[in-house]
Amino acid sequence: MVQEELISKINVTLSEEFELPIEKLTSEAHLVDDLGLDSLDAVDMLVHIEDELGMKLDVEKVQHARTLGDIYKLIGEVSSDSN
Amino acid sequence: MSKTITIIGSGISSLTTAILTLKEGHKVTILEQHSVPGGFLHCFKRFGVRFETGAHYIGALDEGLPFHKLLNYLGVYHEDDYIALDPENTDEYNIENGIYSYCKGYEKNISKITEMFPEFGDEISTYFGEIKNSAVSFPTYYFKEESDQSVMLKYLKMSLHDFLISLKIPKELYDLLIAPCILHGVSPKDLSFGIHSILIDSILVSAHGFRHGGQLLAKRLVDRIEELGGEVLLRKEVVDLEVTDDGKDIKAINCKDGSRYESDLFISGIHPKHVFDMVGKENLKKSFSSRLGKMKESSAFIGAYIILKDSLGINPLRNYYFAPKGVPPYFHAEEIRREDQFFFMTSPQRDIQRRDKFPITIHASCAGETFSGWDLETLKRNDKEYNALKEELFVPIFDQLDKRFPGFKDNIEKVCYSSPLTNIRYNPTPNGSAYGIYHSFENTGARAIGPRSHFHNMYLTGQNTLFPGLLGASVSGLRTAGHIVGIKRILRELEQL
């Protein structure tokens, strides 16, 4: 799956699960300040993304992510590793 | 500043959290739905004998070891309450390739197993060496104020299966090393090596049973709570949790008897699915609610409580485990099959063997849908089909025991059974499991839910937030208390004991 497809899939999942408007889901969006997600949400988010994409992410790295772009990057790394 | 805390459920995790927060000056009230405290520590009497409902094993209890330290720290340790299991053979595993026994001590197990697999001595030593290295890296097990988290994380992220495969050992040795998975009910592919290491270490260093039943530990914990000014209220079935208008906090708890409890903090020691059902889906974040819904449950359990006419050589200081077709590939409720059944047998009277009574307890896995035709509301005690099904499920189990202990079936003098509905009734779990949420990678470590919740003033504790078993549950209580009163000092004081 190319990066754009992955991002689009993640955005649909996050929009549905966290009830966030899809237009707010950009690389620059700050998880806490812009999307209102806290550290507990980070684990919920990780579980939903893993479920949707069928891949395993590093919990600590997800918890340290600041922006949605950081999350996209993590997924890109895992995805290219598994390819 | 002193806070008021209401705790739902009185299992060992709730009781642990209560003592640790009371010690810091908080005011604690525990609400227990049952008429006796203790959760799976509680016992019941049948045929004049005290049977355990769940607790059958206490690990790491010798002086200086983690559970000994923790019980001392809580002020409830009494040496006479416990009895060491047979050091030569604490656990006997009857699996498809034969009978394997575990005994006390690392070295002894290494040499015993190496005798069976002489070509794999190095691999066997490596396995047990890594078990030890892993176990000591957990600061809330071998209590340490400061620790290198990266070591612990390395073990937490590795599966037991992957580790054993990397050793390139034969299947028979693999089967022997995964046999204790029957104890915690998680398949080796789904299981973190780190979690497994704690369980194995706790058993190898010191395996005990209760001399007078788990209920005595529950009583001692409750007595200590009352001594510290806390209260444990029985027959208080929580039916509803009120949420504040802004949706960020829990406001109060309502019980079936109409009583209402307000407090600064709330702690749930019961199954998370059950408590959040009572909070109401409309009050939960959708992302959390759907995650909770996806969490798998561990296998449901059925039980048989038996009086034998003769001991048949069954050692009351040993636990017997049976997985006739091998350790099943799946343990969780959705996929466990009837033919993969595993079970274990223990003695509720560890040392007081009356001449005329030989009681044993059997707990067996049970496929998820087996009892779906009944519910607690409508079930009648004399329901013929329900009772017949319980008996039928034990037929292959008794056949198996008859092979291991010839004459077993003919020696059954009295027997009564429990079903998953019994667990649902006394320790509310969604499917009657004893171990709650399936403790796979997805649900343990940093992925576990709790101790914090999405509500600012609500915490979770219990086996579902960490790991099953007395040790897992009590350490979960310590972690939860640590979030409220600060964990570093507790760990420092435990380390210094």
Q: Given A17, A50, A59, which is nearest B287 (Cβ)?
A: A17
CATH class name, domain A3-82: mainly alpha
User: What average pLDDT does this structure show over B108-131?
Assistant: 97
**Binding-site residues on chain B for chain A (CB distance < 8 A):** 153, 285-288, 290-291, 294, 442, 445-447, 452-454
**In a domain? residue B63:** no
**Burial label, A21 (beta-carbon count in 10 A; 0-12, 13-18, 19+):** exposed
Nearest to A18 among B287, B294, B452 (CB): B287
Mean pLDDT of B20-27: 97
> Do the domain assignments include residue B79?
no
CA distance A53 to A8: 11
Residue of A40, A60, A62 to mutate for B, most B C-beta atoms under 10 A: A40
Q: pLDDT band at B116, cuts 50/70/90? A: very high
Q: Across the interface, do A47 and B447 touch by the CB < 8 Å criterion?
A: yes
Average pLDDT over all residues of chain B: 92
Same-domain check for residues B129 and B230? no
- The pLDDT of residue B127 is 98
Q: Is A17 on the interface with B (CB under 8 A)?
A: yes
Residue B132 domain-assigned (yes or no): yes
Give the model's pLDDT for residue B446. 84
β strands within B125-214, DSSP E: 207-210
Task: pLDDT band for B426, please (50, 70, 90 cuts).
Answer: confident
- Looking at the domain assignment, is residue B23 inside a domain? yes
Rg of chain A on CA atoms, in Å: 11
Number of domains in chain B: 3
Domain C-terminal end among B209, B227, B252: B209
B444 domain residue, yes or no: yes
On the question of pLDDT at A83 being above 70, the answer is no
If one counts every other C-beta atom within 10 angstroms of the C-beta of residue B430, the result is 18
B321 and B400 share one domain: yes
CA A65 from centre of chain: 9
Residues 24-83 of A with CB under 8 A from B: 40-41, 43-48, 50-51, 59-60, 63
Q: Given a cut of 90, is residue B16 above it in pLDDT?
A: yes
Condensed to tens digits (0 to 9), the pLDDT of residues B293-319 reads 989 888 888 999 999 999 999 999 999
Task: Read off the CATH number of the domain in which B51 is found.
Answer: 3.50.50.60
Does B395 lie in the same domain as B333?
yes
Residues B122 and B169 in one domain: yes
Q: Which residues contact B264 (CB under 8 A, 6 or more apart)?
A: B3, B4, B5, B457
Which of B209, B230, B254 is the last residue in one of the domains?
Answer: B209
Q: How does pLDDT run across A22-80, given as a tens digit for each residue?
A: 999 999 999 999 999 988 899 999 999 998 888 888 888 898 999 999 999 998 888 77
Read off the pLDDT of residues B202-225 as tens digits, 9 standing for 90 and up. 999 999 999 999 999 999 999 999
Q: Which residue has the tokens 């009857």?
A: B94
CA distance B454 to chain A (A): 7
Residues B283 and B222 in one domain: yes
For the cut 70, the answer to whether the pLDDT of residue B352 exceeds it is no
Does a structural domain hold residue B347?
A: yes
β B319-323/B343-346 pair status: antiparallel
Task: Give the gap in angstroms from C-alpha A49 to the nearest C-alpha of chain B.
Answer: 11
Assess if residue B116 is contained within a domain.
yes
Asked if pLDDT for residue B2 goes beyond 80, the answer is yes
Question: Residue B330: pLDDT above 60?
Answer: no
Contact (CB<8Å) B287/A41: yes
Residue A78's CB is within 10 A of a number of other CB atoms, namely 18
Residues B158-169 have pLDDT tens digits of 999 999 999 999
- Domain residue ranges of chain A, discontinuous segments joined by +: 3-82
Q: Do the chains contact at B453 and A63, CB–CB below 8 Å?
A: no
pLDDT of residue B334: 61
Q: Region B96-100: what's the mean pLDDT?
A: 85
Pairwise CA distance, residues B189 & B271, whole Å:
24
Q: Are B419 and B303 part of one and the same domain? A: yes
How large is the average pLDDT for residues B235-256?
97
The answer to whether residue B261 scores a pLDDT higher than 80 is: yes
Shared domain check, B336 and B421:
yes
Structural domain of residue B275, as residue ranges?
Answer: 4-55+213-295+438-496
Per residue in B427-459, pLDDT (tens digit) is 788 888 888 899 988 888 888 999 999 999 999
Bridge-partner residues for B460, per DSSP? B268
A58 class by beta-carbon count within 10 Å (0-12 exposed, 13-18 middle, 19+ buried): middle
Positive or negative: CA dihedral B134, B138, B142, B144: positive
pLDDT value for B15:
98
From the list B180, B94, B54, the residue with the least C-alpha distance to B433 is B54
Burial B475-488 (b: 16+ CB within 10 A, else e): bbbbbbbbbbbebe
- Is residue B75 domain-resident? no
Same domain as B229, residue B203: no
Q: Which of B209, B230, B258 is a domain's end point?
A: B209
- Do B121 and B40 lie in one domain? The reply is no
Q: Which residue has the higher pLDDT, B180 or A80?
A: B180
List residues bridging with B11 in a β-sheet.
B38
Q: Is the peptide bond before B451 cis (omega within 30 degrees of 0)?
A: yes
Is a pLDDT exceeding 90 seen at residue B133?
Answer: yes
Query: Are B366 and B398 part of one and the same domain?
Result: yes
Determine, for residues B286 and A40 on separate chains, whether the beta-carbon distance falls below 8 Å.
Answer: no
Question: Domain check: are B389 and B422 in the same one?
Answer: yes
pLDDT at A81: 67
Q: Which chain B positions have a beta carbon within 8 Å of A44's beta carbon?
A: 285, 287-288, 291
pLDDT: which is higher, B217 or B370: B217
